[in-house]
Amino acid sequence: MTATPEDRPSSSWSLMASELSVLFRRLRTWAMLLALAAIPILIAAAVKLSSHPVAPGRGPPFLDRITQNGLFVGVTALVVSVPLFLPLTIGVVAGDTIAGEANLGTLRYLLVAPAGRVRLLLIKYTAAAVFCLAATLTVAAAGALAGVVLFPVGPVTLLSGDTIGVGESVARSLLIAAYVAVSLLGLSAIGLAISTFTDIPVGAMAATIVLSVVSQVADNLPQLEWLHPWLFSHYWLGFADLLRQPISWVSFGNNALLQAGYILAAWALAYGKFTSKDVLS
């Protein structure tokens, strides 16, 4: 028909760009990122203003190190955010992917454009993954900023006892952020899959968030120990390995593999549902 082949790459990118711009032009997205950024700032301010030094081993991991080295603020904030705050925001974004469009009624217009159902799923998932990275980086960056402003910054002593310079510690922080972002990809895929089943975004968001809580609760029940390695949240806090010298990639690899498994399964579900779905919204 009328389209020329050279239109395709740019047009396909065009929907991706549009998807990201819609996501990041929403007030809601910025509110969530701001709330995430507030976590490390809150932690840093609380530690700074507290008259008592933090006793080692109390509070979240790494908290006691913040006063010695501001670079730990970001890591501490990530530890605090991983169980609830990050899954909360991921649940909102991933649960909204398809159900949100259905709820607005724009889903039918995207499909008759035609966006293509599989292409739309891919783009929606990519945008959710970009948000995972943005959310994690927001926490890490706000933490680094608060740490630099409020605390001394210097070489970091790793869990293995080795000391690394500021440059490498920034690289390690980014690595940890990447680890957390990867950790959340499985949950994003689950949210996407749930989102194809309903026209009510709040329902998909809540279901996604509840699943992340259930997974973590199950991970804490010794009776379910056989199940633990299969829970998508199992490696969520396993990034301590990245603070050793040399870096141990075992948990990164295990985590990535587990997330990939969840992504595949959730995608199969989302694909099966969405490609055959009657869009009646």
By CB under 8 A, is residue 163 in contact with other proteins? no
Scan residues 26-55 and list those touching other proteins (CB under 8 A): 26-27
Task: Specify the residue, 108 or 228, whose C-beta has the smaller distance to other proteins.
Answer: 108
* Least distance in angstroms from the C-beta of 115 to other proteins: 4
Which part of the chain contacts other proteins (CB under 8 A), choosing from 87-95, 115-123, 148-156, 163-171? 115-123
The Cα 177–Cα 28 span in angstroms is 22
Which part of the chain contacts other proteins (CB under 8 A), choosing from 24-32, 143-151, 186-194, 244-252? 24-32
By CB under 8 A, is residue 269 in contact with other proteins? no
The Cα 260–Cα 97 span in angstroms is 19
Which part of the chain contacts other proteins (CB under 8 A), choosing from 8-16, 53-61, 89-97, 174-182? 8-16
> Would you say 274 and 196 are in contact if contact means Cβ atoms under 8 Å apart?
yes
User: What is the per-residue binding string for other proteins in 85-114, x denoting contact by CB under 8 A?
Assistant: -------------------xxx-xxxxxxx
Task: Specify the residue, 6 or 225, whose C-beta has the smaller distance to other proteins.
Answer: 6
The Cα 111–Cα 228 span in angstroms is 40
From 252, 255, 230, 231, select the one nearest 241 (Cα to Cα). Answer: 252
How many residues contact other proteins, by CB under 8 A?
A: 33
Question: From the centroid of its chain, how far is CA 238?
Answer: 15
By CB under 8 A, is residue 5 in contact with other proteins? no
* Least distance in angstroms from the C-beta of 85 to other proteins: 24
Which part of the chain contacts other proteins (CB under 8 A), choosing from 20-28, 139-147, 181-189, 266-274? 20-28
When binding is defined by CB under 8 A, the residue of 18, 50, 160, 163 that contacts other proteins is 18
From 211, 123, 137, select the one nearest 179 (Cα to Cα). Answer: 137
Q: What CA–CA distances, in Å, run from 255 to 53, 158, 175, 183, 225?
A: 35, 22, 14, 7, 17
* Least distance in angstroms from the C-beta of 88 to other proteins: 21
* Least distance in angstroms from the C-beta of 245 to other proteins: 47
From 131, 160, 129, 137, select the one nearest 248 (Cα to Cα). Answer: 160
Give me the helices (H) in 105-229, please.
106-112, 117-150, 166-183, 185-195, 201-219
Q: Is the bond leading into 5 cis (omega within 30 degrees of zero)?
A: no
* Least distance in angstroms from the C-beta of 96 to other proteins: 12
Task: Specify the residue, 4 or 51, whose C-beta has the smaller distance to other proteins.
Answer: 4
Angle between helices 27-49 and 85-104 (to 10 degrees): 170
State the residues that interact with other proteins by CB under 8 A.
1-3, 7-8, 10-12, 14-15, 17-18, 22, 25-27, 104-106, 108-116, 120, 276, 278-280
